[in-house]
Chains A and B, each alone.
Chain A
């Protein structure tokens, strides 16, 4: 073949069969038959409806089944109010405590090198791995009347188990990882250069934290707080073990729902449950607003 032929061949437009070109436009994964697409979507929707939407709807339908008056009176009942107060008190103590702990742990793990770091990371995950009931039992064994510190506590007239401190402790344990778990990967990805920059520019440790670190992690931190908050509101297992179920004293909202239900007070149980569900929905709403804002600022 002469060189001129070669050039002629090279410059000729490639002849691609029509069918092949059409295939190239649409990737293979999206070329499934319409039936398969509809079927998969339908299955997902059905699943969601039966397992998530329907139960949620049932909570509200049952709660209002005897009218709004009965609903309001169920919530205004002294034991219910006490449960709501106790739950909010627990959240008010647990969430800030875990924010401080989570920040400290994430800071230590991501900004410093020290021995035992991986052990600390593993320990932070422990509450996720342990059943909440076991978590509750641990505190009973340590602080209960027969426990290690039981006699000392009784001698000093202090109550932990079957009292508010036990509930707070158990809830703190269970919600321990949320803030730290949210912050560690975020802070790891951000590295330490900005902090070092601030230091060379003369900022103190405190200034570095408030002006550089905290603004950089604020959305992640808020997200962690929301998750921690949601779990602290709804924790049942661990709290159930340590609370002793004393009505009007050591009953949190989830425990109160259970008691009402066992008493065949269906409307009351669902009324309180609807409050919890409402709080969960608000949490979800705030969370998605946050995610939307985060995506916007990224």
Chain B
């Protein structure tokens, strides 16, 4: 089921959480709401769920074209997974998952046997079938998360909303679980929105990324679109490491097709891995720079180099083998060349 939000405004006292936000999530997609904390992404999610309501007279929320703006959360058929899972601590895993079925009116409530069957099927789906009798306090973070997911799915929601689904987990479990979520989504094809402040997470698993900042949507697109063609400096900087350089300084370094031209004013944005280093002695093109620091732990080597002409420091990321081939040490001279750079001067083409 598709989700649309039009012109949503929400203020908490003097703080504007959402300032005329539009959102369009096609049916069956996995969409990430990505932004720094305080950007309004969780508020937007809660408004879609019906846990908060937009300011009077501002916008509408539509599910599959039907206006649900005034419908309370319980009647929107949404599955919501809270950041800290909010499992019912006094109930077993089984009872947590069964809750949404047990609170139904007498007429719609399935029989105990049907509830039990459904709960066990869901626990199997999230790979927790052996733990039905445990209590939330006896589970690990990742297990709790999957219980929360099973509980949300028990009511057969039309959309699934996840608030920082991996925020409370440690790094390893996080990675496993987000791949699992992607596969899971591919199996059940439920329209899903998840909130995250982690760009890596969003870019890795989402079909579409909605980048928010200061109560507004900055850009919407596939991970590749937003990464390769960021709409503005905020998006560019938020989606990964970036060097901000004065354009004229690199004019000499950038005499390559498709790269910022000579004499360009203002600032240009370059990702560390889009910079090429050559030995200074080779005498090719490129701005001269001094290596100030080499950090070679991990799959890539990160170097801090200082341009001779402008004294600007630039972060460069190259592979370990490239570093070995280059054979530079701290204080050596190198040449800088940009493979790709962005400028956000009015319609300036890169």
A positions within 8 Å CB-CB of B? 193-194, 196-204, 207, 211-212, 215-216
A199-B89 contact, Cβ under 8 Å, with A193-B82, A207-B103, A211-B103: no
Decide if A200 touches B99 in the complex (CB within 8 Å). Answer: no
Decide if B90 touches A201 in the complex (CB within 8 Å). Answer: no
Decide if B103 touches A193 in the complex (CB within 8 Å). Answer: no
- Mark the stretch among B18-26, B72-80, B235-243 that contacts chain A: B72-80
Instruction: Give complex CA distance A202, B49 in Å.
Output: 12
CB neighbours of B27 from chain A (8 A): none
Instruction: Give complex CA distance A220, B24 in Å.
Output: 46
* Interface of chain A: mostly helix, strand, loop or mixed: helix
A197-B74 contact, Cβ under 8 Å, with A202-B104, A203-B103, A211-B99: no
- Kindly name the residue among A194, A201, A204, A212 whose own CB sees the greatest number of chain B CB atoms within 10 A: A201
Decide if A200 touches B90 in the complex (CB within 8 Å). Answer: no
Decide if B155 touches A202 in the complex (CB within 8 Å). Answer: yes
Can you identify 5 A-B contacts, CB atoms within 8 angstroms?
Answer: A196-B73, A197-B82, A200-B49, A200-B51, A215-B88
Instruction: Give complex CA distance A200, B100 in Å.
Output: 9
Decide if A212 touches B82 in the complex (CB within 8 Å). Answer: no
Does B246 reach chain A (CB closer than 8 Å)? Answer: no
Decide if B99 touches A193 in the complex (CB within 8 Å). Answer: no
Decide if B74 touches A204 in the complex (CB within 8 Å). Answer: yes
Instruction: Give complex CA distance A197, B155 in Å.
Output: 12
Least CB separation from B91: chain A residue = A215
CB neighbours of A212 from chain B (8 A): 88
Least CB separation from B151: chain A residue = A201
Instruction: Give complex CA distance A137, B75 in Å.
Output: 52
Does B86 reach chain A (CB closer than 8 Å)? Answer: yes
CB neighbours of B256 from chain A (8 A): none
CB neighbours of A207 from chain B (8 A): 103
CB neighbours of A204 from chain B (8 A): 74, 103
Decide if A194 touches B86 in the complex (CB within 8 Å). Answer: yes
Does B300 reach chain A (CB closer than 8 Å)? Answer: no
Decide if A193 touches B84 in the complex (CB within 8 Å). Answer: yes
A203-B74 contact, Cβ under 8 Å, with A196-B86, A211-B103: yes
Taking a contact as CB atoms closer than 8 A, the residue among B80, B87, B89 that contacts A200 in the complex is B80
CB neighbours of B49 from chain A (8 A): 200
Instruction: Give complex CA distance A204, B74 in Å.
Output: 8
CB neighbours of B72 from chain A (8 A): 199
Q: Apart from A193-B82, A203-B99, A203-B103, what 14 extra A-B contacts exist at CB < 8 Å?
A: A193-B86, A196-B51, A196-B86, A197-B82, A197-B86, A197-B88, A198-B88, A198-B103, A200-B49, A200-B50, A200-B73, A201-B155, A207-B103, A211-B103
Instruction: Give complex CA distance A196, B49 in Å.
Output: 10
Instruction: Give complex CA distance A202, B103 in Å.
Output: 7
